[in-house]
Amino acid sequence: MRIGILTSGGDAPGLNAVIRGAVFTGIQVHNCEFVGFRNGWRGVVEGDIVPLGMPEVKGISKQGGTILGTSRTNPFEGIGGVDRVNQVMQENGIDAMIAIGGEGTLAAAKRLTDAGIRIVGVPKTVDNDLSATDYSFGFDTAVGIATDAMDRLRTTGDAHDRCMVAEVMGRHVGWIALHSGMAAGAHAILIPEQKTSVDQIVEWVTHAHDRGRAPLVVVAEGFSLDTMDDAHSERGLDAFGRPRLGGIGELLAPIIEERTGIETRATTLGHIQRGGTPSAFDRVLATRLGMAALRSVLDGHWGRMVALQGTEIVHVPFEDALGRLKTVPEDRYLEAKVLFG
Ligand SMILES: Nc1ncnc2c1ncn2[C@@H]1O[C@H](COP(=O)(O)OP(=O)(O)O)[C@@H](O)[C@H]1O
Ligand SMILES: O=P(O)(O)OC[C@H]1O[C@](O)(COP(=O)(O)O)[C@@H](O)[C@@H]1O
Ligand SMILES: [Mg+2]
């Protein structure tokens, strides 16, 4: 069998380990052949294909980014569409595809599978917001990087007796903020799921400071104060019409400083959280997902994605991952909240 692999959407540490897991098992155990589509669906639509054999995947599971490149191209736009995808697959002798990507990638994969194209999905999200998988690769790495950054912010905060605000990723959900904030002993964790007042934040910061602490406030980029309708966005829309988030930490810092009288600094971690080498956990998870995706292809599980449930890798229909975000449940937030202030 000849299988095409693509990575689509924002990158996440572990993409290369998924590719290696699938290619290694496919070639060594099942006599499959592979090609890579370059830059996500764009490579599918444009027929931009590269060889993908053992030499290409050697040693890549520890590499960040994706050896295939990625994009946010919609395969139904421009010259794309079902007929074009079928044509490129036929011309290149490709029997099936493994699509690694986020909700949009899987939505595209579902539409193509509904039209008869043979696709298996692998969920990708650094924010950990896809339903039907307990964790996605990249999330553990991002939490590790954010926690390390907060440990560092705490020592400089202590030295100057300052309040430090750390802004982390999390467009719609606060998983990275919740986990890294808990790990680093934050005095307040602000997430998109829980609108919060300035008064409440000021109370937590003041209380921590009164106990002799340099307060650490962790805020997800998608967080809104209770007075805001939408997440803070001051840099317009991206090429796909989504508001560019970022800057809520910088917005909060002067408010906290003015209201508490404690000197306050904000740091935005940004794409550092997505770059570089994946954690051991993410390498193992991603490798297992890649291997399972290959098994799903061999078993003909079209229209399904592999997922982690508990400690098992299972496969679920694309629709189970679509349309419903995996948000931080109230009880997980309340559990963390006990530690605030
Ligand atoms: N219903 C859809 N059909 C086809 N393509 C889609 C659909 N929804 C989104 N996409 C495409 O998938 C791209 C990648 O999105 P996604 O996989 O969610 O990555 P990310 O979450 O990192 O942005 C989107 O930018 C868009 O072009
Ligand atoms: O800068 P980019 O590539 O547009 O992406 C930024 C967005 O991607 C994210 O990192 C989410 O990525 P995931 O889709 O992997 O969860 C958000 O936290 C952030 O808003
Ligand atoms: Mg996403």
What are the pLDDT digits (tens) for 51-96?
999 999 999 999 999 999 999 999 999 999 999 999 999 999 999 9
Tell me, using a 6 A CB cutoff, whether residue 81 lines ligand 1.
no
- Taking only the tens place, the pLDDT of each residue in 132-171 is 999 999 999 999 999 999 999 999 999 999 999 999 999 9
Residue with tokens 């229909």: 317
Return d(Cα 203, Cα 178) in angstroms, integer.
Answer: 19
Instruction: State the span(s) of the chain assigned CATH 3.40.50.460.
Output: 141-273
Task: Name the active-site residue from 83, 114, 127, 282.
Answer: 127
Evaluate: CB of 40 within 6 angstroms of ligand 1.
Answer: no
Please tell me if the CB atom of residue 238 comes closer than 6 angstroms to any atom of ligand 2: yes
Q: Which residues contact 329 (CB under 8 A, 6 or more apart)?
A: none
Distance from the Cα of residue 263 to its chain's centroid: 33
CA atoms within 13 A on the CB side of 122: 33
Is the pLDDT reported for residue 238 higher than 90? Answer: no
The count of C-alpha atoms lying within 13 angstroms of the C-alpha of 94, restricted to the half-sphere facing its C-beta, is 28
CA atoms of 248 and 291, how far apart (whole Å): 39
* Residue 149 burial (CB count, 10 A): 18
Query: How far is the C-alpha of 102 from the C-alpha of 9, rounded, in Å?
Result: 6
In the reported structure, the alpha carbon of residue 240 is separated from the centroid of ligand 1 by a whole-number distance in angstroms of: 9
User: How far is Cα 155 from Cα 161, in angstroms, rounded to an integer?
Assistant: 10
Count of all residues that appear for the chain in the document = 341
Minimal-distance CA residue to ligand 2 atom 15: 125
Per CATH, which fold does 2-137+276-321 belong to?
Rossmann fold (3.40.50)
In degrees, rounded to 5, the angle at the alpha carbon of residue 296 between the alpha carbons of residues 290 and 300 is 150
3-class secondary structure, 329: coil
DSSP secondary structure, 106-160, as one string? HHHHHHHHHTT--EEEEE--TT--BTT-S--TTHHHHHHHHHHHHHHHHHHHHHH
Output the residue whose Cα is nearest ligand 1's atom 12: 104
324 known member of a binding site:
no
Q: Which CATH architecture has domain 141-273?
A: 3-Layer(aba) Sandwich (3.40)
Strand order in the sheet with 163-168: 188-190, 216-220, 163-168, 264-268
Ligand 2 atom nearest to CA at 138 = 15
151 as an active site residue: the answer is no
Instruction: Say what the pLDDT of residue 223 is.
Output: 98
Atom 17, ligand 1: which residue's CA is nearest? 102
Give me the mean pLDDT over the 159-186 stretch. Answer: 98
38 pocket-lining for ligand 2 (C-beta < 6 Å): no
CA distances (Å), 118 to each of 4, 14, 85, 86, 96, in order?
10, 24, 11, 10, 5
Mean pLDDT of 208-231: 96
* 49 confidence band (pLDDT: 50, 70, 90): very high
Q: How many degrees, rounded to 5, is the angle at CA 233 between CA 227 and CA 239? A: 145
DSSP string, 164-233: EEEEE--SS--HHHHHHHHHHT-SEEE-TTS-B-HHHHHHHHHHHHHTT---EEEEETT--BTT-SS---
How far apart are alpha carbons 119 and 206 in whole angstroms? 54
What is d(CA 324, CA 295) in angstroms, rounded to the nearest whole number? 26
| Predicted local distance difference test score (pLDDT) of residue 234 | 86
Query: Where in the chain are all domains bearing CATH 3.40.50.450?
Result: 2-137+276-321
d(CA 172, CA 236): 17
pLDDT higher than threshold 90 for residue 270: yes
Query: Percent of the chain at pLDDT above 70?
Result: 100
CA triple 176-99-48, angle to 5 deg: 120
- 235 has pLDDT over 90: no
Task: Tell me the pLDDT tens digit for each residue of 296-339.
Answer: 999 999 999 999 999 999 999 999 989 899 999 999 999 999 99
Half-sphere CA count of 98, side-chain side, radius 13 A:
33
Does pTM surpass 0.90?
yes
- What's the pLDDT at 240? 79
What atom in ligand 1 is closest to the CA of residue 111? 3
What's the confidence (pLDDT) of residue 245?
A: 87
